A and B are shown apart, each in its own frame.
Chain A
């Protein structure tokens, strides 16, 4: 019945609508400030007004593309993000397949072993020592190992929960038809994991993209992804807010566009993991 009621404007409702508009403005004004000031000269942008300039300085973007390591940052971010995602999905889902299907003490032990990582923070200084001993400091492969490890507990948590909902009869049918374990896993089970694979991939990619600490501790500036290159750019051009804002906009617009497509999966992923879990 609730749905059939016509939408009417009551005083309470008007207050709530206005409240939501104010909240939305708190999120939109910062973006607008970045956009409008990225089109001013450096004096104008220093004033941080919210009006559009009468003569937009599109040249700011040309300067940023020349001076800031945008392409390098994009390459680093995508390379590290994608390799971490692929490794995480394969390693975590295979592990979860065993943990979800074998009901012995060893599964419970290793499940808890991994899940503890969701709560206990990584010990960053000893990792630094270990990375130096293994000569993995400032290498892409070292960063990937650390990112996969850091996101493994989350992946195993979601994959194990999902695999438990897939009936075991599917495995048995495949086994009776003569699949070996690897065919069973890669041909039969893995394709069924598609929804949770999408969710894990998106969250792992964002975790790598938004990471700050690991890049500061374990990488050199030529390995920085786009967000950190924006921060370094600010270090050099902190007096030219017009250029900084242009760099920020170039850095966040691709993220926001991807977010538009991904947010549906993120919402369902969070919901599956958090609410029903």
Chain B
């Protein structure tokens, strides 16, 4: 028990600024959003929204745009997560095995973290340029000209082009977390395994994987959340186009907000919040159960 005389020195006043700020600018809006989603609030009725019941949600799920945005967001999130985690884990294992200049590689892969996604998307729109862009130029030069694509204007491909850029951006922090996890695994485990005659695959299955499970779960959760929240990358590269082929939650809400349909956009935002919260908390619960202590 800590004596009263000590406890008096942690005044509750210390948490007041944080609680006020967070409540006013984060929690209150969430509840207001709950209410606004059931109104016809827009630029036309800016100060006098009327209650319209479930009309916004009905409109949302009847419009093809919204369902497509949900589908694209989920597809983006799944592919982004799978590729970032798989490539990140692989690269971290390679870097952990005494490749020369490993710190330089780590810094290079990590560096996009300080560049705004809008700026990166400008660079990528040049790389993806169908006529002169370096990607198509390279493909033609090595005789694979048939693989050259209209990366951003062909509806079937555009979303994958955005995903490739997302993976390029997101790989760095994933590699850093995996590397830290791998470095915390003691070399003794591998030595005893070698003496016992375990091969590379067995070492991975029985030593590396279980001991880096925590890094794996944290990484998956972080990448998943960033995937669901994707906005700047899509806004900058395609802004939902061509013809809605890359529309995600973020761009869908912004487009409707720009048209002044606030109640409608708030309803879309509410669905988004629910989808993100449910998927993240479910995954978090799942991971808590999976982790092992050594």
Q: Which residue numbers of A lie inside 8 Å of B, CB to CB?
A: 1-2, 7, 13, 16-17, 19-20, 23-24, 26-30, 33-34, 37, 46-50, 91-92, 94-95, 97-99, 101-102, 106, 110, 113-114, 117, 119-130, 145-146, 148-150, 152-153, 156, 168, 171-172, 175, 179-181, 184-185, 206, 209-210, 212-213, 216-217, 227-228, 230-231, 234, 241, 244-245, 248, 251-252, 255-256, 258-260, 262-263, 266-267, 270-271, 274-275, 277
CA distance A44 to B293 in the complex (A): 59
Closest Cβ neighbor of A146 among chain B residues:
B25
Residues of chain B contacted by A145 (CB below 8 angstroms):
21, 25
Cβ of B68 within 8 Å of any chain A Cβ, yes or no, is no
Residues of chain B contacted by A20 (CB below 8 angstroms):
91, 94-95, 99, 101, 105
Residues of chain A contacted by B99 (CB below 8 angstroms):
13, 16-17, 20
Q: Mark B72-108, 1 if CB is under 8 A from A, else 0.
A: 0000000000000000000100110111110011011
Residues of chain B contacted by A274 (CB below 8 angstroms):
177, 180, 215, 218-219, 222
Nearest CB on A from B292, distance (A) = 15
Nearest CB on B from A83, distance (A) = 14
Nearest CB on B from A147, distance (A) = 10
Given known A145-B21, A275-B214, contact A16–B94 (CB-CB < 8 A): yes
- The reply to whether A125 and B266 form a contact with Cβ atoms under 8 Å apart is yes
Cβ of B191 within 8 Å of any chain A Cβ, yes or no, is yes
- The reply to whether B18 and A92 form a contact with Cβ atoms under 8 Å apart is yes
- The reply to whether A130 and B28 form a contact with Cβ atoms under 8 Å apart is yes
Q: Quick one: which of A37, A150, A181 contacts B10, CB cutoff 8 A? A: A181
CA distance A244 to B215 in the complex (A): 39
Cβ of B201 within 8 Å of any chain A Cβ, yes or no, is no
- The reply to whether B17 and A91 form a contact with Cβ atoms under 8 Å apart is yes
- The reply to whether A94 and B18 form a contact with Cβ atoms under 8 Å apart is yes
- The reply to whether B273 and A121 form a contact with Cβ atoms under 8 Å apart is yes
**Which bracket fits the contact residues of B?**
35 or more
Main secondary structure of the interface of B (DSSP, over half): helix
Q: Quick one: which of B8, B219, B269 contacts A125, CB cutoff 8 A? A: B269
Nearest CB on B from A31, distance (A) = 8
* 8 A Cβ contacts from B254-294 to A: 254, 257, 262, 265-266, 269-270, 272-273, 276-277, 280-281, 284
Residues of chain A contacted by B155 (CB below 8 angstroms):
none
Closest Cβ neighbor of B254 among chain A residues:
A216
Main secondary structure of the interface of A (DSSP, over half): helix
Closest Cβ neighbor of B276 among chain A residues:
A121
CA distance A120 to B31 in the complex (A): 13
CA distance A125 to B155 in the complex (A): 29
- The reply to whether B114 and A206 form a contact with Cβ atoms under 8 Å apart is yes
Q: Quick one: which of B19, B113, B276 contacts A206, CB cutoff 8 A? A: B113
Residues of chain B contacted by A106 (CB below 8 angstroms):
12
CA distance A128 to B231 in the complex (A): 17
Nearest CB on A from B86, distance (A) = 14
Closest Cβ neighbor of A272 among chain B residues:
B180
A-B contact pairs, 19 of them (CB 8 A): A20-B101, A20-B105, A23-B109, A27-B111, A30-B124, A94-B14, A95-B15, A117-B22, A119-B225, A120-B276, A122-B29, A129-B32, A130-B29, A171-B6, A175-B9, A212-B232, A216-B254, A255-B114, A256-B114
Closest Cβ neighbor of B98 among chain A residues:
A7
CA distance A182 to B65 in the complex (A): 54
Given known A17-B99, A146-B25, A212-B231, contact A275–B118 (CB-CB < 8 A): no
* 8 A Cβ contacts from B104-127 to A: 104-105, 107-119, 122-124, 126-127
Nearest CB on A from B287, distance (A) = 13
Nearest CB on A from B170, distance (A) = 13
Cβ of B152 within 8 Å of any chain A Cβ, yes or no, is no
Q: Quick one: which of B111, B119, B191, B266 contacts A123, CB cutoff 8 A? A: B266
Q: Quick one: which of A7, A17, A128 contacts B257, CB cutoff 8 A? A: A128
- The reply to whether A17 and B100 form a contact with Cβ atoms under 8 Å apart is yes
CA distance A128 to B262 in the complex (A): 9
Q: Which of B129-137, B142-150, B202-210, B240-248 contacts A (4 or more CB under 8 A)?
A: B129-137
